[in-house]
Structure 1
Amino acid sequence: MSDQDLFYLLALMKVEGVGDIMAKKLLNHCGDAEAIFKSKSSQIAVIDGVGSALLKNMKDKTIFEKANHELEFIRKNKIDVSFFQSITYPERLKHCVDSPVLLFSGGEIDFANKKIISIVGTRQITSYGIEFCRKLIEDLAPLDPVIVSGFAYGVDIVAHQFAMEYNLQTVGVLAHGLNQIYPRTHKKYMAKMEENGGFITEFWSSSNPDKENFVRRNRIVAGISEATIVIESADKGGSLITANLANDYNRDVFAVPGRITDKYSQGCNDLIKTQKANLLTSAADLIYVLNWDIEKKSKTIQKQLFIELEPDEQKIYDFLLKNGKELLDIIALECGLPVFRISGILLNMELKGVVRPLPGKMFEAI
């Protein structure tokens, strides 16, 4: 994108009364941002939602001063900018009517042809939530997903940390400009995240982490991903807003169940109870619902004479070898294993290349 194109886009987004939806209407009508400012008021007035106040605000000369200042910041700090119609813009986010016209980013981010999931939850994450998050990301690692979160305390930073531990690309969506970081205590994670991932935001360098910005940030977290996972949440909180936004965007939502007496499981349990989220007990649940193909993305494992299997894995393998393809529930029943354990065991066996999933929660030995 040329400096001139970016300058006029920045100016457009600084017009009072022009949000992302209105900006897209104007761009669609006029062709580009420069043409909007050079059009006659009568030409723009025919656009639905454009009134006299907005037309007056477009003549405010200070918007060009602000645009020029931000352009200098972007070029000086080598900020990457993605326009919502460009190929570098996250594909799923393009389909959200209220997605940002411009995204600013830093680091080494690659969304192309990637499985992208968002992991969100309470800032007061418990040991239960930490362990579930670690196991989930460990089991998903062979599929090389991008892990997106909000870089906040609790679930967010735990998800980023485990993603880095398992060498996955991880992206923090910020509620402020790229000239600062919030919370400041997380600054120590920035360099490592930017090596394989980084940060994105719609906010300018003049934007602080104000309360209302976090709600706007959440729509990016929800819209950019194939699925949103809520690890833990109280009965109210930002992660529930993100889950509702994901539902509005027709994306899959998953929630980790917990005891009914646990404060930070109430939100997840309610999402499941009201059918706003799929029950998530292991990575296998996510893989099944999203129809991810483990065989294509995991390392190819040649059949060997001596593949090491755990006792329960060997029991399942022998059963499938004898009986052919079978339902997950039947496997659990015939092998004398609880259903909540069987999913994780089957996932490990898939990664070892000894079983494969079939439609309808069926599995067969390879």
Structure 2
Amino acid sequence: MSLLHQIALTKINGVGPVIARHLLDHFQAAEAIFTAPRKELLAIPGIGSRLAAAILESRVLREAENELRFIEKHRIQTLFWNENSYPKRLKECPDAPLLLYYKGNTDLNASRIISIVGTRNATSYGKLICSEFVRDLQPYGVSVISGLAYGIDSHAHRNALTYGLPTVGVLGHGLDRIYPSANREMAARMLDQGGLLTEFPSGTNPDKRNFPMRNRIIAGLSDVTIVIEAAIKGGALITAEIANTYNRDVCAFPGNLNQEFSSGCNYLIKTNRAHLITGATDLAYLMNWEIDERKQPPKQLPLHVSLDKTEQQVYDAIQAAGQIAIDELSRRLQWPQSKLAITLLEMEIKGVIAVLPGWVYRILN
């Protein structure tokens, strides 16, 4: 399929993803759309006289030629909706963009992808939560998606870079600029450890109306959207709401009842729009993720703690599993749960293990 005509299809005024798919279903190839008789165009659902005239304008092909030169010069990858390279999670969304522009080196179809969003006015609490959360995601091998904005977005990207996680910034403008400009250096690092992605062609300004469109890509690319600090009104809650409409999981960190930038998170939790989480282990439990032990050093007992022979066996089994439910632990050790429960309680009191929802246990750092 002609890339020139794929680009041109996205530049027709009034033709969005849904109508574009009707056109592609009918003509099979983008280039055939621009040579079709007007009468045939009018027979397609959603195409009236005005849209038919817009499709047949030569202007869109001239604009597409300029964009094609730009992406070739800057080695930008294009991902078209009906091609195998298109992100599979996003393709499931009914309003997924027809064409994406991508510069980077990470797999947009990786096995574990999360989005992290939040307020541009991050507090010290939000920054700390974000840092600890991303740090603790390290052994789970996730990729982190966010919007490269001030606040929580920037902290999510920066911490992902620090802890060696791939991170992709979804932009509300073209790849000919970085907004905000203060993130240019970080964006350059992301090209080597993730990437930058947008549906907007070069020359597109970071206008306010573009960011809700960007937010649907953030929600659609990931398995789960995490909200860290958000007011009742703002882009983070829009992203969470979109994720819910896509039947994707949403999680939120609770915050101070009197703090403006915790009110959005608390609202999502209160109205059952988001799962309450307090850290990476809660997320892993929800998503049924296991730790890749190759990605973290073995945990050591605190110097002041000693375990008896029975407790050491339990400790070793939990450490080998990363985290494990009591019934599975009972099966592996071939112990009755009554005996195991007493040992687990003693170890919890000693501060060497923690119990998660569902009687799942993990080693404490």
Q: Is the 8 A contact 2:106 2:193 kept in 1?
A: yes
Q: Which residue of 2 aligns with 1:211?
A: 208
In the TM superposition, residue 335 of structure 1 has moved relative to its aligned partner by 4.7
Q: Which residue of 2 aligns with 1:264?
A: 261
In the TM superposition, residue 284 of structure 1 has moved relative to its aligned partner by 1.1
In the TM superposition, residue 21 of structure 1 has moved relative to its aligned partner by 1.4
Question: Which amino acid in 1 is paired with 2:301?
Answer: L
Structure 2 CA distance for partners of 1:125 and 1:335, relative to 1, 3 Å = farther
Q: Which residue of 2 aligns with 1:362?
A: 360
Query: Secondary structure of the residue that 1:271 maps to in structure 2?
Result: helix
- 1:183 matched to 2:165? The reply is no
Q: Give the 5 Å matches for 1:1-366.
A: 5-294=2-291, 297-299=292-294, 308-310=300-302, 318=311, 321=314, 325=330, 334-335=345-346, 346=354, 360-363=358-361
In the TM superposition, residue 361 of structure 1 has moved relative to its aligned partner by 4.1
In the TM superposition, residue 42 of structure 1 has moved relative to its aligned partner by 2.7
Partners of 1:102 and 1:259 in 2: CA distance: 41
Partners of 2:198 and 2:342 in 1: CA distance: 46
Partners of 1:222 and 1:313 in 2: CA distance: 46
Question: Which amino acid in 2 is paired with 1:299?
Answer: R
The normalised TM-score by structure 1 is 0.85
Structure 2 CA distance for partners of 1:363 and 1:313, relative to 1, 3 Å = farther
The aligned length equals 340
Structure 2 CA distance for partners of 1:40 and 1:214, relative to 1, 3 Å = same
The normalised TM-score by structure 2 is 0.85
Structure 2 CA distance for partners of 1:63 and 1:160, relative to 1, 3 Å = same
Partners of 2:7 and 2:241 in 1: CA distance: 30
> Deviations along 1:85-123, whole A, 9 cap, x unmatched?
222211100101111111101122222333100000000
Question: Which amino acid in 2 is paired with 1:27?
Answer: L
Q: Is the 8 A contact 2:311 2:343 kept in 1?
A: no
Q: Which residue of 2 aligns with 1:350?
A: none
Structure 2 CA distance for partners of 1:79 and 1:282, relative to 1, 3 Å = same
Question: Which amino acid in 2 is paired with 1:321?
Answer: V
Q: Is the 8 A contact 1:319 1:335 kept in 2?
A: no
Q: Is the 8 A contact 2:6 2:80 kept in 1?
A: no
Partners of 2:159 and 2:362 in 1: CA distance: 31
In the TM superposition, residue 166 of structure 1 has moved relative to its aligned partner by 0.4
In the TM superposition, residue 73 of structure 1 has moved relative to its aligned partner by 0.7
- Sequence identity of aligned pairs in percent? 43
In the TM superposition, residue 255 of structure 1 has moved relative to its aligned partner by 0.4
The CA RMSD measured in Å over matched residues stands at 3.0
Partners of 1:312 and 1:169 in 2: CA distance: 37
Question: Which amino acid in 2 is paired with 1:213?
Answer: N
Q: Which residue of 1 aligns with 2:321?
A: none
Query: Secondary structure of the residue that 1:163 maps to in structure 2?
Result: helix
In the TM superposition, residue 360 of structure 1 has moved relative to its aligned partner by 4.1
Query: Secondary structure of the residue that 1:65 maps to in structure 2?
Result: helix
Structure 1 unmatched runs, 5+: 348-356
Structure 2 CA distance for partners of 1:48 and 1:345, relative to 1, 3 Å = farther
Q: Which residue of 2 aligns with 1:352?
A: none
Question: Which amino acid in 2 is paired with 1:334?
Answer: L
Structure 2 CA distance for partners of 1:52 and 1:113, relative to 1, 3 Å = same
Query: Secondary structure of the residue that 1:195 maps to in structure 2?
Result: coil
Query: Secondary structure of the residue that 1:38 maps to in structure 2?
Result: coil
Structure 2 CA distance for partners of 1:210 and 1:107, relative to 1, 3 Å = same
> Deviations along 1:277-326, whole A, 9 cap, x unmatched?
000111111001111122xx331899x9xx722368969x9399398547
Q: Is the 8 A contact 1:232 1:267 kept in 2?
A: yes
In the TM superposition, residue 363 of structure 1 has moved relative to its aligned partner by 4.0
Partners of 1:331 and 1:221 in 2: CA distance: 45
Structure 2 CA distance for partners of 1:233 and 1:44, relative to 1, 3 Å = same
Query: Secondary structure of the residue that 2:182 maps to in structure 1?
Result: helix
Q: Is the 8 A contact 1:222 1:243 kept in 2?
A: yes
Q: Is the 8 A contact 2:152 2:228 kept in 1?
A: yes
In the TM superposition, residue 345 of structure 1 has moved relative to its aligned partner by 5.1
Structure 2 CA distance for partners of 1:313 and 1:108, relative to 1, 3 Å = farther
Question: Which amino acid in 2 is paired with 1:258?
Answer: G
Structure 2 CA distance for partners of 1:23 and 1:291, relative to 1, 3 Å = same
In the TM superposition, residue 334 of structure 1 has moved relative to its aligned partner by 3.5
In the TM superposition, residue 39 of structure 1 has moved relative to its aligned partner by 2.1
Structure 2 CA distance for partners of 1:364 and 1:277, relative to 1, 3 Å = closer
